[in-house]
């Protein structure tokens, strides 16, 4: 498949994904005083961002015809 997530977009996704995943794990583990649903949402969004950043493929971008690779 053709990649549609590149350069700055990829870096932001990987960085933000790592932070959100860590916050989600901390919230679900009781380290942060938040509702469990907040931790679960943060974890899911973080994992999705990490996945799309790592594979350089975003299904939503594909549906919308967005390509940040500059091709």
pLDDT at 43: 98
pLDDT at 60: 96
Residue 1 has pLDDT above 90, yes or no: no
Distance CA 24, CA 36 (A): 9
Q: Assign residue 7 a region (left: φ > 0; alpha: ψ between -120 and 50; beta: otherwise).
A: left
Going by pLDDT thresholds of 50, 70 and 90, the confidence category of residue 46 is very high
Residue 44 token pair: 């899911």
Please choose, from the candidates 19, 25, 51, 47, the residue with its C-alpha nearest in 3D space to the C-alpha of residue 38.
25
The pLDDT mean for the chain works out to: 95
pTM exceeding the 0.85 threshold for the entire prediction: yes
Helix/strand number for the chain, H first, E second: 3, 0
């Amino acid at each position: 498949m053709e990649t549609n997530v590149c350069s700055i977009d990829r870096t932001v996704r990987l960085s933000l994904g790592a932070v959100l995943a860590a916050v989600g794990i901390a919230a679900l583990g009781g380290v942060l005083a938040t509702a469990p649903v907040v931790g679960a949402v943060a974890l899911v969004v973080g994992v999705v961002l990490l996945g799309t950043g790592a594979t350089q493929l975003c299904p939503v971008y594909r549906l919308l015809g967005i390509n940040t690779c500059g091709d």
